[in-house]
Amino acid sequence: MSRTQYYAAATLDGYIAESDDTLGWLLGYEPAGAYEAEEPGPMAEGGGYDRFYGDVGALVSGSATYEFVLDHMDSDDSWPYKGKPYWVLSSRDQRLPEGEGVDVRVSKGDVTDLHEEMMDAAGGRNLWVVGGGDVASQYAAAGLLDELLLTVVPVVLGDGKPLFDERLPGTLKLTGTRAFGNGMVELDYELSPRD
């Protein structure tokens, strides 16, 4: 059964990006000491990200997340989500990547109006809410977010862009944990809407 999943990395104090939307805290992360967990990290080959992404059929994000992806593509300008439809929720025009297998759709629509189309496009696989906190909050408020898959990184920023922009309307049930050799921890939660 297809699920709508918010898969993200966050600091110990709950931020997914710095105040200026940068990810230096994550991209430059190096563990301070030796860790004993067996797996080296979620982004390592065959790690948590690879397992998660294999089940993704479509993606959705806000404009800041999308623009970050565009600005940080590999040097060969290869769109990282080829073969999967990607919705950008934006009220302004966006530049579009080029190339075979690129399917980026910019929409001003509401998540409740677009969700069925996105799930159909996912083809029986999952919809990844890439970010940011505002988009994830919209999905949660509409009762459309099934899971939060969070990688906690042992960094404290003190300020930044929050994991969610609003209070969650339901409850979270912990369904899994995984510690990695670099000090990161994955937490898997199922969301239950409030009755």
Residue 195 clears pLDDT 70, i.e. is over it: no
Q: Are 52 and 7 in contact (CB under 8 A)?
A: yes
pLDDT of residue 75: 60
Alpha-carbon torsion 148, 145, 97, 48, what sign?
positive
pLDDT of residue 179: 87
**Residue 170: pLDDT band with limits 50, 70, 90:** confident
16 vs 34, higher pLDDT: 16
Identity at 54, one-letter amino acid code = G
Give pLDDT tens digits for 45-81.
Answer: 767 788 899 999 999 999 999 999 998 876 666 899 9
Which of 139, 141, 113, 110 lies closest to 127 in space, CA to CA? 139
The helix/strand/coil state of 66 is helix
- Residue 105 CA: distances (Å) to CA of 39, 77, 117, 122: 36, 18, 12, 14
Residue 37 clears pLDDT 50, i.e. is over it: no
Mean pLDDT of the chain: 90
Q: What is the pTM of this model?
A: 0.92
For 4-148+161-184, CATH gives: 3.40.430.10
Q: Name 170's Cβ contacts closer than 8 Å, sequence gap at least 6.
A: 140, 143, 191, 192, 193, 194
pLDDT of residue 35: 56
Give pLDDT tens digits for 83-128.
Answer: 999 999 999 999 999 889 999 999 998 999 999 999 999 999 999 9
Give pLDDT tens digits for 175-192.
Answer: 999 988 888 999 999 998
Residue 40 clears pLDDT 70, i.e. is over it: no
Give pLDDT tens digits for 84-94.
Answer: 999 999 999 99
Pair type for strands 126-131 and 161-162: unpaired
